[in-house]
Structure formats: C-alpha cells, structure tokens
Amino acid sequence: MGTRRPRIIAALAAVSLAAACSPGGDGGDGDTTGYPEQNITIVVPFSAGGPTDTVTRMIADPMAEALGGKIVVQNVEGAGGTVAAGQVAQAEPDGYTVLMHHIGMSTAPALYKDLGYQPLEDFATVGLVTEVPMTVVARPDFPPATLADLTAYVKANQDKVTLANAGRGAASHLCGLLFQSAAGVKLQEVPYQGTGPALTDLVGGQVDFMCDQTTNTSGQITAGKIKAYAVTTPERVKSLPDVPTTTEAGMPQLQVSVWHGLYVPAGTPPEVVQKLSGALQKALADQAVIDQMAELGTAPVTAADATPETHRAHLEEQIETWGKVIADAGVQAS
C-alpha cells in the first residue's frame, strides 16, 4: 500500500507477537475450533453494483471455500456507510457478521459529530483487501475534452455544473472535495445512495461529472458510455492506458485511492479473526480474483497487508491524515 508511512512497520512486530501468543480457545466465550458452523454475512455499506459491492462479491466465494462455509453479501445503505458500520459494531462478536468498508471508515470520525461508534475501539481489523484508483469522469456529451478544459469550464459555470457523489463521507465525495479545492471552485453537489445509481444517472446525462473508482468505471469508459479525464494515482492504470494521471493532466493536487478492508465487532475471538484473515489471504491469491481485479484497474494487496496488524496500523494513519484534510475543508455531515 503506497500510502503507508515507514513508521507503521515498526509497530507491527509486537502486535503480531501478541496475537500469536494469545491463549487457545476464544477467551472464555466458547470453543471456536468448529468455526464457521453457520452462514457468514459480509455487510456492504453501499448499494449493490457499486465498487465496494463489486470487490466484496469477488472475494466472497473464495473466502467461503477457504473457510469451508458459506458467505452471504448484504447491502445496507445510508449516511456514507455509517449506518452499516453502526449495525456491525453492535452485532454479536462471533465472526458471523463482517463489514467490508473503504476509506470512509477513516473519514467518518472527522465528518460526523454523533457517529455512534469509534472505528479503532468498536471494531477488530481483519485485513486490507485492495487499493483502487479513482477516475474523474463525465457524461458522454459533457463539453470539456480534457481535465484542464474541465477546470476552466467549471470555473466559468459554477452555478450550473452538477457534481455527483455517493453521499457525505463516501470516496466519491472526498475525491470531489479535493477536486473543488484544487480547482478553486464550489459546485452544486448531488448526493446518491451509492455510486451505482450515481453512475447510472451520469451515463443517462442527468448529472455532469463525478469521481468514481475504476472498479465501477472501467467498463463504462472502455465502452464509450462516459468520458474519462484522469486517474487519481501517480501511475496510469493498465486497464485504462489512454487515460492520463491527474499529474499528467495538470492537477497533481488531486491524488486519492480507495483502500478496502474487512472488519468484525470488537471482542471477536482472536482465533476467529485469524481464520477470516487467512481465508482473505487465500482469496486474494486466487488467480480468478487477481484477473477480475486487473480488468477493473486494481489488484489485491500482498499477504502481509491482508493481516489484522497491518490493517489496523493503516487505519490509524488514515484517520489522522483525513481528519486534518476534512478539518481544513470545514466539511461536516449531519
């Protein structure tokens, strides 16, 4: 994961040792050797068909096979992912309710005054999954031809241009904030319940432009159904070789990628967390998963990153980083 600081690595050895030396069993709550004995539910905080949902469904079956059980994906939308996260935080800590969340897990504490949960206190991390580039895309008939043209156009039409997103705190919202800051504009934002419906309206011409993950936009871009201006990463995306980076396109300030991770409620037995993490690592090494992700412009993280320890360290860093960005932007969600 390119966004992590070197200091993170130094903290991992002690945490890993503590996990490895945990006593057998589940700390007194019952024998976990038979886990899983019932269906596992992975809760996705956004709409079906969106990028987070897509990533989840890619890994669900391989994880289930590795665990010797069945995984059901459940979409629980609302409030930038906080509704689903709040529900999972209150779920029984038995390993049967898992949350897939993205960068929004690290931005929620700064965005919401009354969040109702704390990511570092109310969840146990399972492992990182993937880091997805974002794209700046527009309806197919939107006049600007390049990112520089787009910047000039929105400056001249601030009261007319519509910028879609998946709601406060969603990755598309954060990317949109960074774009507006870099361009020096304040646009009319149109929030949706997920980027799936937002992208549908973009294709249909109901909104002008938005930021969205390559897992959601690559197919639409290559099919010519939407216009692509740039990818928000330092290097071009293999599945979109003709789309320039934001740095190449003249907006180096717009750098953001969307990392995903799995969580369980705090108090989940360490042995269960480790089983889930091991299944995740096996799923991410599955060639079919690797190929599917490549088609959508992303790739699985390494086995070392798909661990509870690395995931938690990354979450801690991202909460600190995005807290400053959101505070500087003066953004608050209700």
pLDDT tens-digit map of 147-190 = 999 999 999 999 999 999 988 777 888 899 889 989 999 999 99
pLDDT of residue 301: 96
Measure the CA dihedral 315/320/322/324, to 10°: 180
pLDDT tens-digit map of 102-127 = 999 999 999 888 899 999 999 999 99
Fold observed for domain 133-231:
D-Maltodextrin-Binding Protein; domain 2 (3.40.190)
- Contact at 8 Å (CB) between 173 and 163? no
Parse the chain into domains and list their residue ranges: 7-132+259-329, 133-231
pLDDT tens-digit map of 49-60 = 888 899 999 999
pLDDT of residue 334: 57
The Cα-based distances of 172 to 34, 134, 186, 191, 257 in angstroms read 40, 8, 16, 10, 10
pLDDT of residue 196: 85
pLDDT of residue 162: 98
Residues with Cβ < 8 Å from 199, sequence gap 6 or more? 210, 212, 216, 217, 220, 226
The Cα-based distances of 313 to 9, 21, 110, 129, 284 in angstroms read 8, 19, 18, 14, 20
Fold observed for domain 7-132+259-329:
D-Maltodextrin-Binding Protein; domain 2 (3.40.190)
Distance of CA 41 to the CA centre of its chain: 18
**Same CATH fold assignment for domains 7-132+259-329 and 133-231:** yes
Mean pLDDT of the chain: 88
Which of the two residues, 168 and 258, has the higher pLDDT score? 258
Among the ranges given (80-84, 92-96, 119-123), the one the predictor scored with the smallest mean pLDDT: 80-84
pLDDT of residue 328: 76
By percentage, how much of the chain surpasses pLDDT 90? 68
pLDDT tens-digit map of 7-29 = 333 333 333 433 433 333 343 34
Distance CA 144, CA 41 (A): 43
Q: Which residue type is seen at 182?
A: A
